[in-house]
Structure 1
């Protein structure tokens, strides 16, 4: 059996852990909402293939 002081100490420790978890979840949720959404229906421009250089001469992709 624990005495009153130990029970209070355990309750405070548990409350601190709960607060940390809640704050962590709140921050994760806020970070998730700040990410830009991707429009899957939007068209996207594909850049031309880059040229590779061998030594000093530029050679186009075959």
Structure 2
């Protein structure tokens, strides 16, 4: 599955509760972006906890690429 770069970064205060359902989201923390999911806290793909992310964005399919 190919994911696009996020365009619509939002403050963590704007994160809807449903984004903590285990789906992947893009988080901005400590000067870099990481694909993360919620599991008793934000964790990256290898399970490292992401502390105090500043912003989030949904991961979406690139335009023009069908499923």
Above 0.5 in TM-score? Answer: no
State which structure, 1 or 2, has the greater radius of gyration over its C-alpha atoms.
Answer: 1
Shorter-chain TM-score range: under 0.3
Higher strand share: 2
TM-score by length of 2: 0.15
TM-score (norm 1): 0.16
Larger RCO: Structure 1 or Structure 2 (Cα < 8 Å, ≥ 6 residues apart)? 2
